[in-house]
Chain A
Amino acid sequence: MSKLELKAVSKRFGAVEIFSPLDLTVEHGEFCALVGPSGCGKSTLLRIIAGLEPPSSGKVLIDDEDVTGQEPPDRGIAMVFQSYALYPHMKVHENVGFGLRIARRSAEEIKSKVAAAAQKLRLDALLDRMPRELSGGQRQRVAIGRAITRDPRIFLLDEPLSNLDAALRGGMRVEIARLRQSLGATMIYVTHDQVEAMTLADRIVVMNKGRIEQIGAPMELYHHPANRFVASFIGSPSMNFFEADVRDGNGDELVLRLADGSDMVVDRVISPVTSGRVTLGIRPEHVELGTAAGTGNCMPGTVVVVERLGCDTLLHIDATGRPLVMRQPRDLAGIHAGERVTCRFPAEACHVFLN
């Protein structure tokens, strides 16, 4: 277990700035997820932490030791690559024990550590196979096995599940969570999949266009997104947004006027805005469904598509020209496309973001 600190780390490739100076601390034993859309700089940041890429400025500290100029093995890190990066000419046990072999460990130690990793990752039966003889999930487990045999101070995982199909991804997610519990190691996990970040991480760093938008625990980001980008990135389906003007921002509640002239009352505790042009946001699971015309905080609409997911139902609604998604934890067998509905926005569930 180790602590990682990034101090004013920035990266440029020529004239292109990948990210401006940023600070980040990952505590001992913490599982930190870096999330963001493609090209936001999260993988580059991970490569800087790994020592595969030098920062343009700033420092990387591991356990208060400046490792900025050190090579990857000297930093005590292990990395799992997106493409697995298994050596195709080596058998599984050679792949897993390669780092130890290079470190000139004894044959007995290599054998015992490979066996321990294989047992932990259920690779025992695959040790004599070549990587080409393995499935995607098995290859991923070998890649993780290669990382854990070296007893690293910090694990770096670069989109390790993105090459797997949906079913395997779910299984491997549980696998990584279990591994994390058994190792108790500091882990930094890069992903563009917010579900992976939400389910695995202690803390999530949301990045966009080379900036950190927000850092926080998964549910903190979910309930209190700092801006519209974080609100749209965290949660699936994404939050619904409506442009609005603050009509009355002086009371205990905020009154917003939407483009269609209707008013929405929003709890001021979670929306500390008092005036100006704003964006009203509400998560699909917080929108309430009514069939009769409502009175306050209601928006009429027509059901366009009904997606029945089993436990949940997603309603795609045309709310007087604006798209709205609603998630209901019911079968909703009686609702069909074309039906007129009323969507109610509870005041305490609405978010307001400055434009």
Chain B
Amino acid sequence: MRRHHPNISRIVIHAALFALLAVWMIPEVYMLSIGLRTPDQAFDATLMAWPLTLDNFATVIRDNAIVSFFLNSLIVTLATVAIVVACSTLFAFACAVLHLRWSLVLYATLLTTLMVPLASLVLPLAILLKTFGWVNTYAGVIFPYAALGAPFAVVVLKAFMEDSPKELFEAARVDGCNAWQTYWHVALPLIRPALVFVGIWQFIVTWNEFFLALIILTRNEVKTLTIVPMQYSGLYMANPGALFAVLTLIALPLILLYVVVQRAFVRGLLAGAVKG
């Protein structure tokens, strides 16, 4: 009988996890469900309504240059991720490995920006970007996103670099590496799990960003996907089917990305938590 206990406990654990997952998934399922409803069923208080229709998706794709918005989102997101990863790794390296003078003061200053809400920055940012002539340009959102994302990335990457064995960086020095070569050949490969984590995290945050994009990107040629849902939710008009259809389309790339890289993401989250 004792041998069966692990199986029973596993079944119980999995059942509990599935129950939790089901509760957790309700918003996602509801989002997809409303996107697949006719206008008459839109406000029905059921999780699923039949028959299913793809009309809302067709409407959204017909009414908007979805491909163009998707590409804009992709360009903005990838550029932001690239800048955040590049700048944060270099800064973390300067703090944790090179111990550059004043780097810790800069680090502490950078940390304070984590405590400033985006809403309080929008007005000065908008004025600044207008002065630069960056309104309705990719740069107008990429650089603010990168600046806002970098502090968190630096915190994560610096901790990883500090956890890396100091002797490896010293061995690189003895092997003839200059600072750049040590960064490129030793530090970056060592913190790969953290890089994956930071990259994915920044991707999600940037892809989903709405507030700044709404203010800075007003021309259709540069708009990102997250602005599209606004068209289907107004004060006197609403098209919930189309609204949720477009929300589903926005969420889809993130869900696919997470499925592909979830192992690396979880490894990045956990690395350093347990000594190997």
> Which among A72, A77, A83, A99 is the interface contact of B167 at CB below 8 angstroms?
A83
B163-197 Cβ-contact flags toward A at 8 Å (1 or 0): 00101101111111100010001100110100000
B181 and A79 within 8 A (CB): no
B175 and A81 within 8 A (CB): no
A102 and B176 within 8 A (CB): yes
A101 and B185 CA atoms in complex are apart in Å by 11
B165 and A78 within 8 A (CB): no
A338 and B126 CA atoms in complex are apart in Å by 92
A99 and B171 CA atoms in complex are apart in Å by 10
A265 and B126 CA atoms in complex are apart in Å by 95
> Which among B167, B175, B190 is the interface contact of A98 at CB below 8 angstroms?
B175
Is A85 positioned at the interface, with any CB of B under 8 Å from its CB? yes
Is A170 positioned at the interface, with any CB of B under 8 Å from its CB? no
B189 and A79 within 8 A (CB): no
> Which among B174, B186, B190 is the interface contact of A73 at CB below 8 angstroms?
B174
Instruction: Write the chain A residue with the least CB distance to B171.
Output: A85
Chain B residue numbers with a CB within 8 Å of A146 are 171, 175
Pick from B167, B173, B174 the residue with the most CB of A within 10 Å: B174
A98 and B171 CA atoms in complex are apart in Å by 10
> Which among A72, A83, A89, A103 is the interface contact of B173 at CB below 8 angstroms?
A72
Chain B residue numbers with a CB within 8 Å of A99 are 174-176
Q: In the complex where A83-B165, A85-B168, A89-B190 touch, is A102 in contact with B174 (Cβ < 8 A)?
A: no
Which residues of A (132-186) have their CB < 8 Å from a CB of B?
146, 150
A79 and B173 CA atoms in complex are apart in Å by 10
Q: In the complex where A88-B190, A102-B181 touch, is A73 in contact with B175 (Cβ < 8 A)?
A: yes
Instruction: Write the chain A residue with the least CB distance to B182.
Output: A102
Secondary structure of the B contact surface, majority rule? helix
The number of inter-chain residue pairs (CB within 8 angstroms) is 54
A79 and B176 within 8 A (CB): no
> Which among B174, B181, B185, B186 is the interface contact of A52 at CB below 8 angstroms?
B174
Which residues of B (132-165) have their CB < 8 Å from a CB of A?
165
Is A71 positioned at the interface, with any CB of B under 8 Å from its CB? yes
Sorting the interface of chain B by its residue count into under 10, 10 to 19, 20 to 34 or 35 or more gives 10 to 19
The smallest C-beta distance from B33 to any residue of chain A, in angstroms, reads 46
Interface size on A, residues (CB 8 A): 22
A72 and B190 within 8 A (CB): no
The smallest C-beta distance from B191 to any residue of chain A, in angstroms, reads 10
Chain B residue numbers with a CB within 8 Å of A50 are 174
A103 and B173 CA atoms in complex are apart in Å by 12
A71 and B177 CA atoms in complex are apart in Å by 10
The smallest C-beta distance from B28 to any residue of chain A, in angstroms, reads 37
The smallest C-beta distance from A3 to any residue of chain B, in angstroms, reads 20
Is A229 positioned at the interface, with any CB of B under 8 Å from its CB? no
Chain B residue numbers with a CB within 8 Å of A51 are 173
Chain A residue numbers with a CB within 8 Å of B171 are 79, 81, 85, 87, 146
Chain B residue numbers with a CB within 8 Å of A82 are 167
Chain B residue numbers with a CB within 8 Å of A102 are 175-177, 181, 185
The smallest C-beta distance from A166 to any residue of chain B, in angstroms, reads 23
The smallest C-beta distance from A4 to any residue of chain B, in angstroms, reads 16
The smallest C-beta distance from B123 to any residue of chain A, in angstroms, reads 46
Q: In the complex where A52-B173, A81-B171, A102-B177 touch, is A87 in contact with B165 (Cβ < 8 A)?
A: no
B168 and A87 within 8 A (CB): yes
Chain B residue numbers with a CB within 8 Å of A81 are 167, 170-171
Chain A residue numbers with a CB within 8 Å of B168 are 85, 87-88
A87 and B185 CA atoms in complex are apart in Å by 9
Instruction: Write the chain B residue with the least CB distance to A73.
Output: B176
B174 and A77 within 8 A (CB): yes
Pick from A82, A85, A103 the residue with the most CB of B within 10 Å: A85
B170 and A85 within 8 A (CB): yes
A41-52 Cβ-contact flags toward B at 8 Å (1 or 0): 000000000111
A89 and B189 within 8 A (CB): yes
Report which A residues bind B (CB closer than 8 A): 50-52, 71-73, 77-79, 81-83, 85, 87-89, 98-99, 102-103, 146, 150
Other A-B pairs beyond A50-B174, A85-B167, 20, CB < 8 Å = A51-B173, A52-B170, A52-B173, A52-B174, A72-B173, A73-B173, A77-B174, A78-B174, A79-B171, A81-B167, A81-B171, A83-B165, A83-B167, A87-B168, A87-B172, A87-B186, A87-B189, A88-B168, A89-B192, A146-B175
Between A and B, 21 residue pairs with Cβ closer than 8 Å are: A73-B174, A73-B176, A77-B174, A79-B170, A83-B165, A85-B165, A85-B168, A87-B168, A87-B185, A87-B186, A88-B168, A89-B190, A98-B175, A98-B185, A99-B175, A102-B175, A102-B176, A102-B177, A102-B181, A102-B185, A146-B175
